Amino acid sequence: DAKTTQPTSMDCAEGRAANLPCNHSTISGNEYVYWYRQIHSQGPQYIIHGLKNNETNEMASLIITEDRKSSTLILPHATLRDTAVYYCIVRVPRGDKIIFGKGTRLHILP
């Protein structure tokens, strides 16, 4: 699985959009971009994934650059409950382990 680079931590004001960047310059053609988050003391939660088109669901939007070397997870209206560690993972969609990096610790400020 390709490596990813994320900022260690970010702050965002409550009610604003939180934009979390991820670099994955060595991504290969069959690898997808996945985002998970882990709220303190809970199990990881799937957020969204995509291959090359932008994706949106009820939780977030995923913007992938045309060259697929980076992506941004957007939480459109952050709330205090979005405070968590966010993991960007690139992997082939098959039955296999997930390799979690250090992620971005997102603090939503009241």
Partner 1 sequence: NAGVMQNPRHLVRRRGQEARLRCSPMKGHSHVYWYRQLPEEGLKFMVYLQKENIIDESGMPKERFSAEFPKEGPSILRIQQVVRGDSAAYFCASSPPASPYEQYFGPGTRLTVT
Buried b (16+ CB within 10 A) or exposed e, 72-107: ebbbeebeeebbbbbbbbbbeeeeeeeeeeebbbbe
CB 86 within 8 A of CB 103: yes
Q: Judging by DSSP bridges, how do beta strands 18-23 and 70-75 pair with one another? A: antiparallel
Q: Residue 29 contacts by C-beta under 8 Å, 6 or more apart in sequence?
A: none
Which region, judged by CB under 8 A, interacts with partner 1, from 9-17, 50-58, 64-72, 98-106? Answer: 98-106
Out of 3, 69, 102, 109, which residue is the one contacting partner 1 (CB under 8 A)? Answer: 102
Residue with tokens 């490596």: 3
Out of 19, 23, 38, 61, which residue is the one contacting partner 1 (CB under 8 A)? Answer: 38
The yes or no reply on residue 95 touching partner 1 (CB under 8 A) is yes
CB of 99 vs partner 1, minimal distance in Å = 7
CB of 91 vs partner 1, minimal distance in Å = 7
The yes or no reply on residue 100 touching partner 1 (CB under 8 A) is yes
Which region, judged by CB under 8 A, interacts with partner 1, from 9-17, 59-67, 71-79, 100-108? Answer: 100-108
The yes or no reply on residue 91 touching partner 1 (CB under 8 A) is yes
